[in-house]
Amino acid sequence: MKEITAKNILSKEPVETHGTHRALENPGAPETPGASETQPFDYSRYDFLKTAGSATIMAFFGITLASCSSSVTDSGTGTDPDPTDPDPTDPGDGGDGTSPITIEGDLVTLNLDSSRFEGLKSAGGWNLIEEAELLVVNVDGQVIRAFTSVCTHQQCKTSWQFSNDLFICTCHDSRFNTSGEVTSGPAQSDLQEYAVTRDGSTVTIDKS
Residue 22 falls inside a structural domain? yes
Residue 44 falls inside a structural domain? no
Residue 196 falls inside a structural domain? yes
Number of domains observed in the structure of the chain: 2
Q: Would you state the pLDDT for residue 99?
A: 86
Name 33's Cβ contacts closer than 8 Å, sequence gap at least 6: none
CB 20 within 8 A of CB 8: no
Residue 33 falls inside a structural domain? yes
Domain of residue 200: give its range.
Answer: 101-206
What pLDDT, in 10s, does the model give residues 31-85?
A: 545 544 455 555 555 565 555 555 555 555 454 444 433 333 222 223 333 433 3
The Cα–Cα gap between 4 and 17 comes to 9
**Candidate ranges 5-14, 70-79, 194-203; pick with highest mean pLDDT:** 194-203
The Cα–Cα gap between 75 and 64 comes to 22
Residue 92 falls inside a structural domain? no
Residue 110 falls inside a structural domain? yes
**CATH of residue 199:** 2.102.10.10
Residue 18 falls inside a structural domain? yes
Residue 88 falls inside a structural domain? no
CB 142 within 8 A of CB 133: no
Q: What is the pTM of this model?
A: 0.55
